[in-house]
């Protein structure tokens, strides 16, 4: 990995480079995606089936688009029973963590006759998109579905692309069954997003779409936003490690590569106060790459977006980390908890040498659907709140309103909205 001194110039250049990976930078695909969305919106199943044949070489129709109970039962026989047990353990951890995020409705009555409150209601139908092929990750099924289940969403549907023979990845089906998905449909790509956003004869319209996907899926979610809620328009995966001279270079290198293997656009960055550590980590990454199955992808990822930045001190390192606002942030320092207090922007923070990033991907419980491309400055991980609506409650007695009606009328009149003022005034004529 390249080793660079951390300066204002190198930090600025790095940020410019990372931002180019955003889905918002792939405008050349937008017209294609918009055409797909429009065709599904207008022709519904007809377009969905034709596009599935075109892109997945699979003959899907109204009779076979929905996954059956028999197909789910078959999936259980196709995967390692120990893996099923692990998924159930992971699901329990994810559920327990997200249950802590739940809020209750509340009512606040006052003696003057005023009643204010907030009613919390889950959305009715949630849609989850799950990629197929090499990008089929059962962990993402658990992470997208279980917060919705905890929130109380009554109907959860899932779409995922079939292979040419109409089969779905068995791990995906088992994860969906464990998580409690109600309906699974064989549809992928931008056409599946459009089907969930607008509804077809086979696939119901949903209130919110979550889940990862390629650039076409990301742009389709962007195009449908407003007709339906979405989680985010996610960019490629990223990891940033903050480390001092106490860090184990082998651990650091292994953690950087855990994200670099996702794809050639993934970013892996180490910011350290130790040049000696920087050099050791660079050597360790070379050793690991020769041993790992996705070594070619890792090499290209590091060539494109892999950096080791040497900072003058931890204050400078933390400042750069806050500006990058990484999806995953590991802190491997003598006192990681003290450094954490200075972090303002990160999707998820991992503290200490035994809290490597894959712990969050698979097992610990916090959600691994995280903000990318610097959006951790204003977005949060997927959570229970994403599946809840908050409705305000207002009730005033005549006595309570009589004490403030002239103030309300004045406010409305100053804004030139006399009908607003009259709506209050007529009650005291």
> What are the b/e assignments for 321-354, b being 16+ CB within 10 Å?
bbbbbbbbbbbbbeebeebbeebebbbbbbbebe
Residues 6+ apart with CB under 8 A from 350: 328, 329, 330, 331, 356, 357, 359, 360
Identify the CA nearest to 78 among candidates 181, 206, 179, 173.
Answer: 173
CA distances from 193 to 37, 41, 248 (A): 8, 10, 43
Residues 6+ apart with CB under 8 A from 271: 6, 240, 241, 242, 243, 309, 311, 317, 320, 321
Identify the CA nearest to 91 among candidates 153, 125, 141, 159.
Answer: 141
Residues in the chain, overall count: 429
d(CA 331, CA 154): 39
**Active site positions, annotated:** 327-328
Counts of helices then strands in the chain (DSSP H, E): 18, 14
CA distances from 397 to 116, 348, 400 (A): 12, 47, 5
């Amino acid at each position: 990995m390249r080793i660079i001194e951390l300066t204002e110039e190198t930090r600025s250049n790095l940020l410019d480079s990372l931002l180019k990976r955003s889905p918002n930078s792939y405008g050349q695909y937008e017209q294609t995606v918009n055409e797909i969305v429009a065709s599904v919106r207008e022709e519904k199943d007809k377009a969905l089936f034709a596009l599935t044949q075109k892109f997945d070489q699979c003959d899907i129709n109204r009779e076979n688009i929905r996954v059956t109970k028999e197909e789910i039962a078959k999936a259980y026989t196709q995967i390692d029973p120990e893996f099923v047990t692990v998924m159930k353990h992971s699901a329990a951890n994810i559920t327990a963590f997200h249950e802590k995020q739940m809020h209750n409705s509340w009512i606040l009555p006052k003696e003057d006759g005023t009643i204010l409150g907030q009613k919390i209601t889950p959305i009715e139908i949630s849609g989850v998109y799950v990629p197929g092929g090499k990008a089929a990750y059962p962990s993402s099924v658990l992470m997208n579905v279980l917060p919705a289940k905890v929130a109380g969403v009554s109907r959860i549907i899932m779409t995922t692309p079939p292979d040419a023979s109409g089969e779905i990845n068995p791990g995906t089906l088992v994860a969906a069954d464990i998580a409690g998905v109600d309906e699974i449909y064989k549809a992928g790509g931008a056409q599946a997003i459009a089907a969930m956003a607008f509804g077809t004869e086979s696939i119901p319209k949903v209130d919110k779409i979550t889940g990862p996907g390629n650039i076409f899926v990301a742009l389709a979610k962007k195009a449908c936003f407003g007709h339906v809620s979405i989680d985010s328009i996610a960019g490629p995966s990223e990891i940033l490690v903050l480390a001092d001279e106490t860090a184990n270079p082998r651990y650091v290198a292994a953690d950087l590569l855990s994200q670099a293997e996702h794809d050639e656009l993934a970013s892996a960055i180490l910011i350290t106060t130790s040049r000696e550590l920087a050099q050791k980590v660079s050597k360790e990454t070379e050793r690991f790459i020769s041993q790992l199955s996705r070594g070619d992808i890792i090499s290209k990822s590091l060539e494109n977006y892999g950096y080791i930045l040497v900072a003058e001190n931890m204050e400078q390192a933390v400042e750069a980390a806050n500006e990058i606002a990484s999806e995953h942030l590991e802190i491997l320092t003598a006192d990681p908890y003290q450094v954490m207090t200075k972090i303002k922007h990160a999707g998820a923070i991992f503290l200490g040498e035994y809290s490597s990033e894959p712990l969050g991907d698979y097992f610990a419980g916090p959600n691994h659907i995280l903000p990318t491309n610097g959006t951790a400055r204003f977005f949060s991980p997927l959570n229970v709140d994403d599946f809840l609506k908050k409705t305000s409650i207002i009730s005033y007695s005549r006595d309570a309103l009589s004490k403030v009606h002239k103030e309300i009328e004045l406010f409305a009149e100053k804004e030139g909205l006399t009908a607003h003022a009259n709506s209050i005034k007529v009650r005291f004529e």
